[in-house]
Amino acid sequence: MNEPGVEVEGMRVAFDGVTALEDVSLSIEPGEFFTLVGPSGCGKTTMLRAIAGLTDGADGSVAIDGRDVTDAPPEARNVGMVFQNYALFPHMSVHENVAYGLRFHDLGDDRSEDERVAELLDLVDLSGVADRSPEQLSGGQQQRIALARALAPEPDVLLLDEPLSALDAKLRKRLRVQIKTIQQELAITTIYVTHDQAEALALSDRVAVMHDGHVEQLAAPETVYRDPASRFVAEFVGDNNLFEGTVTAGGTCIIVDGAKLPLPADAGVSAGESVTLAVRPEAIAVVDGANGSGSVETTLEATVETVEFLGDAYRAHCRWQDRRVEVKTAASEPPSGEVRLRFDRADAYVI
Ligand code: ATP
């Protein structure tokens, strides 16, 4: 059986008595693209640095490809790291920057340094810029060079700490596809840190959603999105409408402000229980006229307050009773005025 790519057990870190990580364990598969995502201060960078051996006072164990590296210094762990701010050496050429990654490393074969650098520049699709200095490159190009430098010594694990957050939105999307492509080509175990949930969903095989120093949910992106384990995850990952109410006698609906909202068939709740029902904006339809089909129990009479045009859809911020309800609709005209909203019970979930 394969050893895990990275195994972290019982990681605890505190800074001046403030807990940054409380007893977190992770088991990451070889070749997996694994993402730590969460709001600022949740401990994701601390976890990445603990894996790299850069956190003082980290209490817990780390193994890489079955090798216990808990007491090993960073340079003996064979990890490659990329940071948000490129960290290229400005006085060295692109070629020299990448070659620097090889400085303390014997590739163990007959490739020359020049051949390896050329290979890496080709991998990040920047063969033409070897002689330039970093300042003659765009932010996105600099980050690809930083990636090439991190990959130069053929690390067992690639650690990426918010590598795209200094770039503009369009470039961010393009570069994330390149990172994913390179990661797949090399099949390298990768741990990625981001506060951007959309980036986490787009890139990862599995995602650990972190909050206040612990993991709230660890699952495939689809599971985190469709079946959030907690209210925190439901609110942090994507947009959600949350309705708190009491389960009806029949167990099929909840009562919210006097209205009945349908529960999913397999909700596993009992009559009288207080529950939170979550419905994604894209699961709510704007309908005209009378109540809809048999599969839908309720329409909510709401007022559209603000509409945003998203290109492929409209996001309407509506008011229903005293609540805001967000709806995403692909209709060709923006909804306005008094509307009826409805959703299918199969598209709602209980938290
Ligand atoms: P961000 O996205 O803002 O970097 P993060 O999720 O990566 O956030 P960490 O950087 O891991 O969070 O920080 C976790 C907690 O530990 C925070 O409360 C932070 O203030 C604290 N912390 C991190 N590094 C140190 C340090 N060197 N000294 C003191 N406190 C620290």
Query: What's the pTM value of the predicted model, to 2 decimals?
Result: 0.89
CA distance 143 to 208: 24
Nearest CA-CA partner of 11 in 37, 48, 64, 66: 48
Same domain, 15 and 78: yes
Same domain, 207 and 264: no
CB contact at 8 A, 262 and 252: yes
Beta strands across the sheet bearing 18-28: 18-28, 6-15, 59-64, 67-68
Same domain, 127 and 228: yes
Domain of 265 in residue numbering reads as 241-350
- Ligand 1 mean position, distance from CA 40 (Å): 8
Same domain, 330 and 298: yes
Residue 277's domain is classified under what CATH number? 2.40.50.140
**Nearest residue by C-alpha to atom 2 in ligand 1:** 40
Of 40, 47, 199, best ligand 1 pocket probe by most atoms within 8 Å of the beta carbon: 40
Same domain, 226 and 77: yes
Residue 232's domain is classified under what CATH number? 3.40.50.300
Average model confidence (pLDDT) across the chain: 91
Over residues 236-273, the pLDDT tens digits come to: 999 999 999 999 988 888 988 888 899 998 888 989 99
Strand partners, 328: 315
CA distance 66 to 63: 6
| Predicted local confidence at residue 243, as pLDDT | 94
1 within domain boundaries: no
Same domain, 223 and 247: no
Decide if pLDDT at 295 tops 70. no
| Predicted local confidence at residue 86, as pLDDT | 66
Residue showing tokens 């193994």: 63
Provide the 3-class DSSP secondary structure of residue 326. Answer: strand
Of 8, 13, 15, 193, best ligand 1 pocket probe by most atoms within 8 Å of the beta carbon: 15
**Nearest residue by C-alpha to atom 7 in ligand 1:** 45
Domain count for the chain: 2
Of 8, 21, 37, 45, best ligand 1 pocket probe by most atoms within 8 Å of the beta carbon: 45
SS (H, E, C) 39-72: CCCCCHHHHHHHHHCCCCCCEEEEEECCEECCCC
289 within domain boundaries: yes
Same domain, 316 and 189: no
Cβ of 142 closer than 6 Å to ligand 1, yes or no, is no
Same domain, 104 and 180: yes
Give ∠ CA 22-24-27 in degrees, rounded to 5: 175
| Predicted local confidence at residue 96, as pLDDT | 94
Same domain, 203 and 116: yes
Of 236, 256, 272, the last residue of a domain is 236
Over residues 187-211, the pLDDT tens digits come to: 999 999 999 999 999 999 999 999 9
Same domain, 110 and 252: no
